[in-house]
């Protein structure tokens, strides 16, 4: 890593997130908006009723990427791979993603962290296991539901760790209790407004939430889950990740070009190491 990159990695490891500006161009953004709007239009009304606080929660898996070149192009986008490289991740792997679209006038998203490897000692170090790469398809502000984060909370216990539910419960998803601590405002939080086309990358274990969308326009984010340092992780962590992200979709359904694009991002582990149980709640080691 050259010096500038070192600084980026240090900031990423310290704060738990990093913003890369202007990674996706307007043509790709338009295609992603069309694609996600089409997918959302095919969901049942019940989907949106169950997901009031996220707005939607549609899975982006390998089968979708093999079928829809725009998704594969996003996952293996040269600008994204360069951004990862700037943080020192030369051989990243992709797991899955979500289309999370807040309709106009919808509630905030509750505080949560998506770390699910808390029984693995690596989760208590600066070496990332799972990271989100978020692409907002519109410019975001506190008014239309921008991201909020608690910097450093991937490595430092915050009072919310002991107050919020470890999982996305139905009560949180449906905004049944606006007084739940998951919807509180805390002193350490900061807003992360971005421009469409920016990339927000963060540790899966960072506490994050989003504001309500108080505007008349939908606000969509594509959250893509990567394992940026997979190849350098201990074998047991690799075995755990490979099991958690088992990809059974058939690459043969994709064009040779798409297969070649996606192949380097496949998670593969064929050793003998024992996977570690999934654990959504941080242990006492998180001080
Ligand atoms: O909707 C947002 O702004 C954040 C989405 C999120 O928290 C997630 O994908 O884990």
Determine the pLDDT at residue 253.
Answer: 82
Q: Is the entire prediction scored with pTM above 0.95?
A: yes
Determine the pLDDT at residue 191.
Answer: 98
Contacts (Cβ under 8 Å, ≥6 apart) of 241: 93, 95, 117, 129, 130, 227, 230, 233, 267, 269
Determine the pLDDT at residue 96.
Answer: 98
Determine the pLDDT at residue 252.
Answer: 86
DSSP the chain: --HHHHHHHHHHHHHSEEEE-S-S-HHHHHHHHHHHHHHHHTS-HHHHHHTTTTS--EEE-HHHHHH-HHHHHHHT-HHHHHHHHHTT-SS-EEEEEEEEEEPSSBPPEEEE----BTTSGGGGSSS-SSEEEEEESS---TTTT-EEE-TTTTTS--GGGGTS-SS--HHHHTT--TTSGGG---TT-EEE---TT-EEEEETTS-EEE--B-SSS-EEEEEEEEETTGGGS-HHHHHHHHHHT-----GGGS-HHHHHHHGGG-----S-PPPPPPB-S--TT--
Mean pLDDT of 119-127: 98
pLDDT-above-90 percentage for the chain = 94
Give the pLDDT band (50/70/90) at residue 91. very high
Is the CB of 58 within 6 Å of ligand 1?
Answer: no
Mean pLDDT of 74-89: 98
Determine the pLDDT at residue 165.
Answer: 81
pLDDT digit string (tens) for 208-223? 999 999 999 999 999 9
Determine the pLDDT at residue 240.
Answer: 98
- Judged against a pLDDT cut of 90, whether residue 4 lies above it is answered with no
pLDDT digit string (tens) for 163-180? 998 778 999 999 999 999
Is the CB of 101 within 6 Å of ligand 1?
Answer: no
The DSSP bridge partners found for residue 210 are: 109, 147
Relative to the CA of 102, which ligand 1 atom is closest? Answer: 1
CATH number of the 3-265 domain: 2.60.120.620
Mean pLDDT of 250-257: 88
- For atom 7 of ligand 1, which residue has the closest CA? 209
Is the CB of 109 within 6 Å of ligand 1?
Answer: yes
Is the CB of 219 within 6 Å of ligand 1?
Answer: no
Mean pLDDT of 74-86: 98
Mean pLDDT of all residues belonging to the chain: 96
DSSP 14-74: HHSEEEE-S-S-HHHHHHHHHHHHHHHHTS-HHHHHHTTTTS--EEE-HHHHHH-HHHHHH
Determine the pLDDT at residue 242.
Answer: 97
Determine the pLDDT at residue 251.
Answer: 86
Determine the pLDDT at residue 2.
Answer: 64
Mean pLDDT of 124-142: 98
Mean pLDDT of 238-254: 91
- Judged against a pLDDT cut of 70, whether residue 146 lies above it is answered with yes
Determine the pLDDT at residue 10.
Answer: 98
Mean pLDDT of 6-32: 98
Each domain of the chain, given as residue ranges in start order, spans: 3-265
Determine the pLDDT at residue 127.
Answer: 98
- For atom 8 of ligand 1, which residue has the closest CA? 223
Is the CB of 199 within 6 Å of ligand 1?
Answer: no
């Amino acid at each position: 890593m050259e010096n500038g990159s070192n600084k980026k990695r240090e900031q990423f490891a310290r704060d738990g997130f990093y913003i890369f500006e202007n990674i996706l161009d307007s043509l790709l953004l338009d295609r992603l908006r069309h694609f996600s709007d089409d997918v959302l239009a095919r969901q049942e009304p019940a989907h949106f009723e169950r997901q009031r606080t996220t707005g939607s929660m549609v899975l982006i898996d390998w089968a979708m990427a093999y079928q829809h070149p725009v998704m594969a192009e996003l996952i293996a986008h040269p600008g994204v791979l360069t951004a990862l490289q700037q943080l020192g991740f030369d051989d990243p792997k992709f797991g899955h993603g979500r289309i999370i679209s807040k309709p106009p006038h919808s509630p905030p998203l509750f505080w949560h962290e998506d770390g699910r490897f808390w029984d693995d000692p690596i989760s208590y170090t600066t070496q990332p296991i799972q990271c989100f790469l978020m692409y907002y398809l519109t410019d975001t502000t506190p008014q239309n539901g921008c991201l909020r984060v608690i910097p450093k909370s991937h490595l430092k216990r915050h009072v919310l760790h002991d107050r919020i539910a470890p999982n996305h419960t139905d009560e949180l998803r449906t905004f049944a209790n606006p007084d739940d601590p998951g919807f509180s405002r805390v002193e350490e939080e900061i807003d992360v407004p971005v421009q469409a086309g920016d990339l927000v990358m963060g540790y899966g274990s960072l506490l994050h939430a989003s504001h309500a969308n108080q505007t008349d326009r939908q606000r969509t984010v594509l959250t893509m889950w990567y394992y940026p340092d997979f190849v350098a992780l201990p074998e047991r962590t690799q075995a755990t990740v490979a099991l958690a992200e088992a990809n059974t979709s058939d690459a043969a359904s994709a064009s040779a070009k798409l297969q070649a694009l996606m192949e380097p991002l496949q998670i593969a582990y064929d050793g003998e190491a024992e996977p570690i149980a999934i654990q959504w709640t941080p242990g006492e080691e998180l001080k």
